[in-house]
Structure 1
Amino acid sequence: MRLLFLAVLRRHTGNAVTAQRIRDHLEAAGHVCILKDAFDFESPSEIANFIKAENLEAAVALHLYRGGRLVQGHGIPFGIIFGGTDLNEDVNQGEKNKVMGKVLEEARFAVAFTESMKEIAQTQWVDPVFTREVKAKVKRTPGVRLIGEMAQEDLHAIVKNCFAVVNSSVSEGMSAAILEAMDLEVPVLARNVPGNAAVVRHGVTGLLFSDPQEFVRLAKRLVSDPALEKEIVANGREYVRRHHALQVERNTYGHLIRTLQRSIED
């Protein structure tokens, strides 16, 4: 694949050294990587012309503001790599902060070199006001604990020891948590929103609730009816096996990428 790699390349700086190292990685993987100084381009139109002239298929930008804002909006996929100034300085400037948020919305991936950089980015752009509200609510609610991120194998071990998994989202696309619970043979109670209802068939592969009162009623029913629990678990596991098998998904994505590759070659 032909890649554009944008970075600030002032000689003997950390950014320049990092960019050279990453370019070497990409080229070692078999890609053509054209490394350019972000300061060589004065406008997005110059980037657009360069992308067209060099027949570039994707882009990577080092530094969310200096590089990222130049690669968005050109119709090619791109990823960004956080620098340092973007998270330590630019994030505190209102207009730059907004621009960087827009870049992240469009980026296919974002790389942070340290956990602290990752945490700064998440705080600035995962909705900090809502996060504080949730944490405060949990502290005031008996019997509810808020657990941070953990490795998937640890999460699965916890889920296996739970009586049920609850999805209370007011909006869902396709809930990986629901599918994982079904695969782990744990009953699911989910809010009755379109994304959840597309996966959970009420009374068959799980239970759907529309309000807190209905949730309480259905939870009590599940606790008191072992036969229902057994049926839901079996049906949920079979649903995942039939419609979300890992190998089938892997084969499908492999086919799609080959199709994408052929379209690029054509």
Structure 2
Amino acid sequence: MRLLLLACLRAQTGNATTAARIQNHLHAAGHVCVLKDAFMYESPTEIANLTSTEKFDAALAIHLYKGGRLLQGSRIPFGIIFGGTDINEDIRFEEKHRVMGAVLGEARFAVAFTVKMKELAAAEWVDPLFTNEVKEKVKRAPGVHLLKEMPQDDLHAAMKRCFAVVNSSISEGMSAAILEAMDLDIPVLARNIPGNAAIINHKETGLLFSDPQEFVVLSKSLMNDPIMEREIVARAKDYVKKHHSWESERKAYQNFVLRFQ
């Protein structure tokens, strides 16, 4: 089967790595999966021309609005993979909310990375400015350094040299960075938001903080308690193996594609 996968493919982002991983899974099952950057297209008509010209049999899209809207009215069957922005941000805007609901109505299936994300979506249906804001705040924060994007292997090598990985996002779907840290035996401190809390059990598989003061307290407790650190790392590693195994994910996506037949 020849498959189109639409996603936001800016280098070294969660969407790009997720898309590449899904592509790998589908190639392993003998399908041809072609990645296309959703930002390169403006309308469903452009995608309709693409799927007709390149003879695609079916399509997948990451993000209901960014990718899914381009598949509305598609001549070929398609499935949708939720991203964090769908549920956490886009859903607040009436027009985007309407479009995402329409996309779900046409999709052959939808994939949510966490139970919480699935529940939020079910309850609702059956950016550059922010980047600049972050950069300005980092400039004013002593001891904080902003690094450019880097290849995954280099990133993992850098992570292994760190005492802990911190996720301070105010909006997450499923953080690949957290799961990668868990798999690399690095303790995680993350902001207590639904996306992070869905994959971290506080003081069991990681530490969740709600404000800067709590972050400082938890960081000091982690640094001063090597036994707690080792136990958190071990439980986190087991969690990733049990709930986010590469083999299980591959099998799931391969089975999803069978629904197109």
Instruction: Note the C-alpha offset of 1:217.
Output: 0.5
| 2:72 alignment partner in structure 1 | 73
CA distance in 2: counterparts of 1:73 and 1:183, whole angstroms: 37
User: What is the rounded CA distance, in whole Å, between the counterparts of 1:182 and 1:3 in structure 2?
Assistant: 32
Matched, 1:247 2:261: no
CA contact (8 A) 2:204 2:232 kept: yes
CA shift in 2, pair 1:30/1:167, >3 Å:
closer
**TM-score, normalized by length of structure 1?**
0.54
Runs of 4+ in 1 over 6 A off after TM superposition: none
What letter corresponds to residue 231 of structure 1 in structure 2? Answer: E
2:222–2:228 CA contact under 8 A, matched in 1: yes
Asked if structure 1 preserves the Cα contact closer than 8 Å seen for 2:163 and 2:186, the reply is yes
* TM-fit CA distance, 1:207: 0.5
* Structure 1: unaligned runs, 5 residues or longer: 5-28, 32-42, 60-67, 79-101, 107-126
| 1:163 equivalenced with 2:160 (yes/no) | no
3-state SS, counterpart of residue 131 of structure 1? helix
Q: Give SS of 1:147's match.
A: coil
> What TM-score comes out, normalization by structure 2 length?
0.55
Matched, 1:209 2:205: no
- Is 1:191 matched with 2:194? no
Compared with structure 1, are the counterparts of its residues 202 and 3 closer, same or farther at alpha carbon in structure 2 (3 Å cutoff)? closer
- Closer, same or farther: CA 2–74 of 1 in aligned 2, 3 Å: farther
* Structure 1: distance between partners of 2:198 and 2:3: 38
Percent sequence identity over matched residues? 60
Label 1:167 to 1:3 Cα distance change in 2 as closer, same or farther (>3 A). Answer: closer
Structure with greater Cα Rg: 1
5+ residue gaps, structure 2, are 5-29, 33-42, 60-66, 79-98, 104-126
Report the CA distance between 1:71 and its aligned residue: 6.0
Q: For this pair of structures, how many residues does the alignment match?
A: 166
Across the aligned residues of Structure 1 and Structure 2, the Cα RMSD in angstroms comes to 3.5
The answer for the alignment partner of 1:223 in structure 2 is 223
Residues 141 and 71 (structure 1), Cα distance of their counterparts in 2 relative to 1, 3 Å cut: closer
Q: What CA distance in whole angstroms lies between the structure 2 residues aligned with 1:222 and 1:250?
A: 34
- Please give the per-residue CA displacement for 1:48-89, whole angstroms capped at 9, x wherever unaligned: 8xx99xx98558xxxxxxxx9x965314578xxxxxxxxxxx
Q: Which has the higher contact order (CA 8 A, sep 6+)?
A: 2
The CA deviation at 1:259 is 2.5
Q: Which residue of 2 aligns with 1:174?
A: 174
Cα separation, 2, equivalents of 1:130 and 1:216: 25
The Cα of 1:249 is off from its aligned counterpart by 1.2
